[in-house]
């Protein structure tokens, strides 16, 4: 389904990354994960990576100007012209407005909120920390990331609901089942 311009919202640990990759393949559009792009820049020790790392390690958001510029650049790449799936962006009200400008009237076609139970999410993140050793997966940073999500990103759900774009999908349960729910929600 090219020309799908989709945003995947949901708290850290809801399984957005895994589902974004599966869904993007199903739709034939690129999955664009701002967290992944930041992590790649950190690993490559770029200027952007050095700037982003201190925010990421603390569980805070990278400043909007920096993130917006990065996303604008990525969306301008040829593979995103016929559609994309954004995972982890927008995360603030300012990013919503900026994305609107970037899309210049084309607009989004879908916004999916992957919902998750908080206790389950914390447990998932702690398990991931053990398996992958991500620097931002320590317990105190996890708590901060959830707080920042609640304060800055959860309100975006209402913004997109008012626009009639929002679909909520239960992110709990086996990965394959969640993927099925997501593809059904888009059919």
Pick from 41, 67, 110, 181 the residue near ligand AMP by CB under 6 A: 67
Beta bridge partners of 6: 85, 110
Measured from the CB atom, the residue of 18 and 168 that comes closer to ligand AMP is 18
- Where do runs of H (alpha helix) occur along 44-154? 47-58, 64-75, 93-103, 118-132, 139-148
Q: Is 16 a catalytic residue?
A: yes
From the CB of 30, what's the least distance to ligand AMP, in Å?
Answer: 16
Residue nearest to ligand AMP (CB): 35
Q: Is 163 a catalytic residue?
A: no
Residue 15 in contact with ligand AMP, rule: CB under 6 A: no
Structural tokens at position 25: 């393949």
The size of the interface with ligand AMP (CB under 6 A), counted in residues, is 16
Residue 12 in contact with ligand AMP, rule: CB under 6 A: yes
Residue 48 near residue 37, CB atoms below 8 Å: no
Residue 34 in contact with ligand AMP, rule: CB under 6 A: yes
| Segment interacting with ligand AMP, rule: CB under 6 A, options 89-97, 100-108, 109-117, 167-175 | 89-97
Measured from the CB atom, the residue of 1 and 94 that comes closer to ligand AMP is 94
Residue 149 near residue 14, CB atoms below 8 Å: no
Ordered strands of the 166-170 beta sheet? 31-33, 84-87, 5-9, 110-115, 166-170
CA atoms lying within 13 Å on the CB side of residue 67 = 29
Choosing from 5, 16, 39, 74, which is the catalytic residue?
Answer: 16
Q: Is 128 a catalytic residue?
A: yes
Residue 107 near residue 173, CB atoms below 8 Å: no
Pick from 7, 11, 61, 116 the residue near ligand AMP by CB under 6 A: 61
Residues assigned a catalytic role:
16, 91, 128, 134, 145
């Amino acid at each position: 389904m090219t020309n799908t311009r989709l945003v995947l919202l949901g708290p850290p640990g809801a399984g957005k990354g895994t589902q974004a990759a599966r869904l993007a393949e199903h739709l034939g559009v690129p999955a664009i994960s701002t967290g992944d792009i930041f992590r790649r820049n950190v690993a490559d020790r770029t200027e952007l990576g050095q700037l982003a790392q201190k925010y990421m390690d603390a569980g805070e958001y990278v400043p909007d100007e920096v993130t917006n510029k990065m996303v604008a650049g990525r969306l301008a790449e040829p593979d995103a012209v016929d559609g994309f799936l954004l995972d982890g962006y927008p995360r603030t009200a300012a990013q919503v407005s900026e994305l609107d400008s970037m899309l210049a009237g084309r607009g989004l076609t879908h916004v999916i909120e992957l919902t998750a139970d908080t206790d389950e999410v914390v447990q998932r993140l702690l398990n991931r920390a053990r398996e992958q050793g991500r620097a931002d997966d320590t317990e105190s940073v996890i708590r901060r990331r959830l707080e920042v999500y609640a304060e800055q990103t959860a309100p975006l759900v209402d913004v997109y609901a008012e626009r009639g774009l929002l679909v909520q999908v239960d992110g709990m349960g086996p990965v394959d089942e969640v993927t099925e729910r997501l593809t059904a929600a888009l059919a």
